[in-house]
A and B are shown apart, each in its own frame.
Chain A
Amino acid sequence: MQKNTSRRKFLETTAGGFAGLALGQILRAETANGSALHHRPKAKRVIQLFMNGGVSQMDTFDYKRSLEDLNGKTFDPGDGRLVESVTNSPGFKVLKSPFRFKQHGGCGRWVSDVLPNMASMVDDLAFLMSMNSPTNVHGLGSYMQNTGFTLPGFPCMGAWISYALGRINQNLPEFVVLPDPNGLPYNNLGNFTSGFLPARYQGTVINAGPSQSVRYLFPPKEAKHINTESEKASREVLRILNQKHLEETPGDSRLEARIQSLEMAARMQLSVPELFNLNNESKAITKLYGMDEKHTSDFAKRCILGRRMLERGVRFVQIWSGAGGPTNNWDNHANIHSELPHMTRQVDKPITGLIKDLKARGMLEDTLVIWTTEFGRMPFSQGQAGRDHNGGTFVTWFAGGGVKGGSSFGQSDRWGWKSETGTSSHDMHATILHLLGINHEKLTVRHNGIDRRLTDVHGHVVNDIIS
Chain B
Amino acid sequence: MPQYLTILVLLFLLLGKGLCLAEVASQESWWALKPLKQTKIPVGTSAPTSWQKHPIDSFVAAKHAEIKLTPSPTVDRRTFIRRATFDLIGLPPTPEEVETYLANKSPEAPKQLIEKLLSSPKYGERWARHWMDVAHYAETHGHDEDAIRENAWPYRDYLINSFNSDKPYDQFVREQIAGDILFPENPASTAAIGFLATGPWDESSQMGISDGTIDKKIAQYLDRDDMIATVMSTFLSTTVHCARCHDHKFDPISIEDYYSLQAVFAGVDKVDRPYDDNAELADKRKQLLSRKRKLEKKLIPNDIFLKNELAEIETALLRVEKRWKILSSPSVSSSNGNIFKARPDGSFLSIGPAPQKDIVTFRSELDVEEVTAFQLDVLTDKSLPKGGPGHAINGNLHLSEVVVKVNGKPIKIAKAVADFSQNDWLISHAIDQNTDTAWGIHPLEGKPHRAVFIFEKPIRESKGKIIVIELHQLHGRNHLIGRPRISLTNISNPILEKILPLEISRLLKIKIADRTKDESKTLALYFAKDKNDRQLAMLGKQKKVYAVASHFAANGNFKPSQKPRLVHVLNRGSIHSPVKEAQPGALQCISGLSGRLDIKQPDIEGERRAALAHWITDRQNSLLWRSIVNRVWHYHFGQGIVGTPNDFGRMGDLPTHPELLDWLAFEFRANGGSLKWLHRTIMTSSTYRQQSTHRLDFAHRDADNKWLWRMNRKRLDAESYRDAVLQIGGNMDWRMGGPSDRQFNMSKGVHVTPNLDYIGFDPNASANNRRSVYRFIFRTIPDPLMQLMDCPDASQHAPKRDSSLTALQALGMLNNRFLVRQSERLADRLKKESPILKNQVIRLFKLTYHRKPNRNESRLVAKLARDHGLANACRVILNSNEFLFVN
User: Would A261 and B647 be within 8 Å (CB), given that A189-B781, A195-B793, A217-B815 are in contact?
Assistant: no
| Closest residue on chain B to residue A90 by CB atoms | B210
Contact A215 B784 (CB under 8 A): yes
Q: How many residues of A contact B (CB 8 A)?
A: 92
Residues B239 and A188 in contact, CB atoms below 8 Å apart: no
Whether A324 and B793, one on each chain, are in contact in the complex, defined by CB atoms closer than 8 angstroms, is: no
Tell whether, in the assembled complex, residue A448 and residue B872 are in contact, meaning their CB atoms are under 8 Å apart: no
Evaluate contact between A258 and B884: CB separation under 8 angstroms.
yes
Task: Confirm or deny: B145 has a beta carbon within 8 angstroms of a beta carbon on chain A.
Answer: yes
Q: Is the C-beta of B614 less than 8 angstroms from some C-beta in chain A?
A: no
- Determine if A98 is an interface residue (Cβ-Cβ < 8 Å): no
Q: Is the CB of A13 within 8 A of B704?
A: yes
Q: Is the CB of B651 within 8 A of A325?
A: no
B694–A249 contact, CB under 8 A?
yes
Select the stretch in B116-124, B460-468, B749-757 that faces chain A: B749-757
A196 touches B651 (CB 8 A): no
Across-interface contacts of A136 in B (CB, < 8 A) = 215
In this complex, which of A188, A226, A265 has the most chain B Cβ atoms within 10 angstroms of its Cβ?
Answer: A188
Bound-complex Cα distance A14 to B241 (A): 29
Rounded to whole Å, the gap between the CB of A244 and the closest CB of chain B is 8
Given contacts A190-B795, A234-B876, A237-B864, contact A251 B715 (CB under 8 A): no
**B25 close to A (CB within 8 Å):** no
**Chain A, Cβ-Cβ closest to B649:** A449
Supposing A87-B208, A216-B816, A448-B233 touch, asked if A261 and B806 sit within 8 A by C-beta, the answer is yes
Q: Are A449 and B652 in contact (CB under 8 A)?
A: yes
| Interchain CA distance A139-B695 in the complex, whole Å | 50
B222 touches A151 (CB 8 A): yes
Contact in complex: B815, A183 (CB < 8 Å): no
Does B811 contact A216, Cβ atoms closer than 8 Å? yes
A16-B703, A139-B202, A220-B820 are known contacts. Are A152 and B807 too (CB-CB below 8 A)? Answer: no
B785: chain A residues at CB < 8 Å are 216
Q: How far is it, in angstroms, between the C-alpha of A17 and the C-alpha of B788 when the chains are bound? A: 21
Tell whether, in the assembled complex, residue A16 and residue B811 are in contact, meaning their CB atoms are under 8 Å apart: no
A199 touching B820 in the complex, CB below 8 Å, given contacts A234-B876, A242-B881, A246-B881: no
Given known contacts A215-B759, A223-B824, A450-B242, is B215 in contact with A20 (CB within 8 Å)?
no
B315 proximal to A (CB < 8 A) = no
Question: Are B215 and A188 closer than 8 Å at their CB atoms?
Answer: no
**Residues of A contacting B571 in the complex (Cβ-Cβ under 8 angstroms):** none
**Residues of A contacting B790 with CB < 8 Å?**
199
Contact A451 B651 (CB under 8 A): yes
Across-interface contacts of A137 in B (CB, < 8 A): 144, 202, 204-205, 208-209, 215, 219
Query: Which residue of chain A is the closest to B817 with respect to CB atoms?
Result: A220
With contacts A446-B651, A448-B233 taken as known, whether A14 is within 8 angstroms of B793 at the C-beta atoms is no
The answer to whether A86 and B699 have CB atoms under 8 Å apart is no
Closest to A267 in B: B807
Contact A450 B651 (CB under 8 A): yes
Query: Who on chain A is nearest to B856 by CB?
Result: A244
A14 partner residues in chain B, CB cutoff 8 A: 703-704
- Complex CA distance for A137 and B215, rounded to whole angstroms: 8
A185-221 CB mask vs B (1 if < 8 Å, else 0) is 0111110011110111010100000000011111110
Chain A residues near B205 (CB-CB < 8 A):
137, 139-140
Of the candidates A154, A189, A259, A261, the one whose C-beta lies within 8 Å of that of B780 is A189
Contact A17 B703 (CB under 8 A): yes
Residues of B within 8 A of A251 (CB): 693-696, 699
Contacts of A446 in B (CB 8 A): 644, 651
With contacts A19-B805, A20-B804, A448-B233 known, is A139 near B145, CB below 8 A? yes
Which residue among B226, B693, B712, B881 has the maximum number of chain A CB atoms within 10 Å of its CB? B881
Which residues of B698-737 have CB atoms within 8 Å of chain A's CB atoms? Answer: 699, 703-705, 712-713, 715
**Docked CA distance A194–B793 (Å):** 8
Chain A residues within an 8 Å CB radius of B219? 137
A144–B440 Cα distance when bound, in Å, is 45
A198 touches B802 (CB 8 A): yes
B651 near A449: Cβ-Cβ < 8 Å: yes
Q: Are B704 and A257 in contact (CB under 8 A)?
A: no
- Any A CB within 8 A of the CB of B434: no
Q: Shortest beta-carbon distance, A82 to chain B, in Å? A: 8
> Smallest CB-CB separation from A323: which chain B residue?
B750
User: In the bound complex, do residue A255 and residue B885 qualify as a contact, i.e. CB atoms below 8 Å apart?
Assistant: yes
Q: Is the CB of A241 within 8 A of B880?
A: yes
In the assembled complex, B532 has its CB within 8 A of some CB on chain A = no
A250→B209 CA distance, assembly (Å): 59
Cβ-based interface call for A245 (8 A): yes
Q: How far is the CA of A139 from the CA of B779 in the complex (A)?
A: 14
Residues of B within 8 A of A135 (CB): 215, 218
Q: Are A139 and B820 in contact (CB under 8 A)?
A: no
Q: Is B100 located at the chain interface by the 8 A CB criterion? A: no
Please give me the residue from chain B that is nearest to A198 by CB atom. Answer: B802
Q: Is the beta-carbon distance between A254 and B715 smaller than 8 angstroms? A: yes
Q: How far apart are the CA atoms of A325 and B885 in the complex, in Å?
A: 43
Decide if A32 is an interface residue (CB 8 Å cutoff): no
Q: Does B351 sit at the interface, judged by CB under 8 A?
A: no
Contact B805 A265 (CB under 8 A): no
Say whether, besides A87-B208, A234-B875, A261-B805, A195 and B811 are in contact (CB < 8 Å): no
Interface residue ranges of B829-844 to A (CB < 8 Å): none
| A150, CB-defined interface residue at 8 Å | yes
A195 to B219, alpha carbons, bound, how many Å?
21
Whether B820 lies near A223 (C-beta < 8 A) is yes
Chain B proximity of A191: nearest CB distance (Å): 9
Query: Judging by beta carbons under 8 Å apart, are A150 and B869 in contact?
Result: no
Q: Which of A15, A219, A262, A268: most chain B Cβ within 10 A?
A: A15
B783-810 at interface with A (beta carbon < 8 Å): 784-785, 787-788, 790, 793, 795-799, 802-810
Any A CB within 8 A of the CB of B90: no
CB–CB A240/B860 < 8 A: yes
Residues of A with C-beta under 8 A to B215: 84, 86, 135-137
B810 touches A252 (CB 8 A): no
- The answer to whether A188 touches B781, judged by C-beta atoms less than 8 angstroms apart, is yes
Min CB gap A241→B, angstroms: 5
Give A457's nearest chain B residue, CB to CB: B245
Check if B712 sits within 8 Å of A241, measured CB to CB. no
| B758 shortest CB reach to chain A, Å | 9
In the docked arrangement, what's the CA distance between A173 and B873, Å? 29
Whether, in the assembled complex, A230 has its beta carbon less than 8 Å from a beta carbon of chain B, the answer is yes
Distance to closest chain A CB from B287 (angstroms): 43
Residues of B within 8 A of A406 (CB): none
* A residues near B871, Cβ cutoff 8 Å: 223, 225
Tell me if A35 is interfacial: C-beta within 8 Å of chain B: no
Query: Which residues 851-887 of B sit at the A interface, judged by CB distance below 8 A?
Result: 857, 860-861, 864, 867-869, 871-873, 875-877, 879-882, 884-885, 887
CB of B214 closer than 8 Å to a CB of A: yes
Contact, CB under 8 Å: A152 / B811: no
Contacts of A77 on B, CB cut-off 8 Å? none
Closest residue of B by beta carbon distance from A24: B806
27 contacts between A and B (CB under 8 A): A15-B703, A86-B209, A151-B795, A152-B143, A152-B780, A152-B793, A153-B136, A153-B200, A154-B796, A184-B781, A198-B802, A219-B814, A219-B820, A225-B869, A226-B820, A237-B860, A237-B873, A238-B880, A245-B880, A254-B715, A269-B811, A325-B750, A326-B750, A446-B651, A448-B647, A449-B239, A450-B239
Additional pairs, 7, CB under 8 Å, beyond known A16-B694, A137-B202, A193-B795: A139-B205, A140-B202, A153-B795, A225-B871, A241-B882, A245-B881, A325-B750
A residues contacting B by CB (< 8 A) are 13-17, 19-21, 82, 84, 86-87, 135-140, 142, 150-154, 173, 182-184, 186-190, 193-196, 198-200, 202, 204, 214-220, 222-223, 225-226, 229-230, 233-234, 237-238, 240-242, 244-246, 249-252, 254-255, 257-259, 261-262, 264-265, 267-269, 323-328, 446, 448-451
**Can you list the 4 inter-chain pairs with the closest CB atoms, starting with the nearest?**
A139-B144, A251-B694, A449-B239, A325-B750
